Amino acid sequence: MATRVANDKGKQRAGVTTPPPTPQAAAAAAKRGRLCDIIIGGKYRILSPIGSGSFGELYSAENVEDGDDKVAVKLESSSVKYPQLPREAKIYNILRGGLGFPKLRYFGTEGIYNVLVVDLLGPSLEDLLNFCARNFSLKTTLMLGLQILARVEYLHMNCLLHRDIKPENFLMGLGEERARVFMIDFGLAKRYYRPRTCTHITYNERHELVGTARYASVRAHYAEQGRRDDLESVGYLLMYFLRGRLPWQGISADTRRQKYEKIAESKSTLPLNVLCSGIPTEFYMYMKYCRSLHFEEQPDYAYLRQLFQVLFKAQRFLHDCLYDWVDIKQETADEFQQRLIDEEEQQQRKAKYERRLSRRRHIDVPR
């Protein structure tokens, strides 16, 4: 501390001053200060910003009664014309109990904000791709792909489409769930089927793109999306994991609309065998199947899973959840430590049982 003060004084003597914060930085700091004063749902205090989703800002927060209980908080202004968080909270409730979906902890209005509180998760698959030098191994890609397919299938089982499949919307869990993939951000999700009336949404080709152009299906650029489009996006996502980029990345144009049109043209004109060249045939078969589906057709999820499961076994991979980013030495140390804890707990249970048995014998001895 003394050195820092001396340095600061030296800078002042030399005429060097620290530049004042920009108006944007000052406003952000003031906003964080105000947010930290709010106890959300009488239980959660905001800590720091995480980022932003398709709608709203994301913050980490903690339970004021249990500092170890960390959550994620999504905020949007309660005065927006078309609020999205009430709808997203409803979707989280529909998906409640599904494996690989964060639990909804709270939804309500706090001051000038609509507030959504869910489980705090780990890094996104985009973050991990960057950590792994911009590509995943085939083993990691397949382990992730099987989980992502399961999430999409569960979403579709509940009559919902995601419509924004991208690596930022899949996060790894924390702690005991660090090997599990979670699907998040349902701001663009849509109901495709209504069980009460047994009606499916109708197909039309008067639609602008909904979602992220890089991973959107060919038809998503101009038409209503269905289950097939989510699945096609998953295919692009997996190829992106293997290669670190897709052929239409880097396309430039004068306007966003023109750029999207060029991306759509690239996707539709590039033959599938060229798109899938240099990677296992199963990815070509996956993409060919997804593009062949009719708008209202029920996808064969079991067939798609089997494609990757058979490939996984053919490569003699072990489903050990050791992804490319896992520190094997640390994971082995953690497993050893957990084994010691389990053995200690087992010994404690055994000792407790023997003490109970000893007391019972003492009581049963005739006097």
Known binding-site residues for ATP equal: 74
Is residue 127 part of the annotated active site? The answer reads no
Using CA atoms, how far residue 281 sits from 58, 239, 272, in Å, is 39, 12, 11
Please report the beta strands in 89-179, taking only residues with DSSP state E, as ranges in sequence order: 104-110, 113-119, 160-161, 170-172
Q: Which residues are annotated as a binding site?
A: 74
3-state helix, strand and coil shares in percent for the chain, rounded to the nearest 5: 45, 15, 40
- Residues 187, 184: Cα–Cα separation, whole Å: 9
Q: Which helix (H) or strand (E) holds 52?
A: strand 44-52
Cα angle 342, 343, 348; round to 5: 95
**Is residue 2 classed as helix, strand or coil in its secondary structure?**
helix
Q: Which token pair is 78?
A: 């309660």
Token digits for 43?
């239980």
Instruction: For the chain, give the number of residues.
Output: 367
At 26, phi and psi to the nearest 5?
Answer: -65, -40
Residue 12 CA to residue 341 CA, distance in Å, equals 56
| Residue in 8, 69, 127, 164 annotated catalytic | 164
Contact between residue 166 and residue 189 where contact means Cβ atoms under 8 Å apart? no
In this structure, what DSSP letter does residue 124 have? B
Residues designated as active site = 164
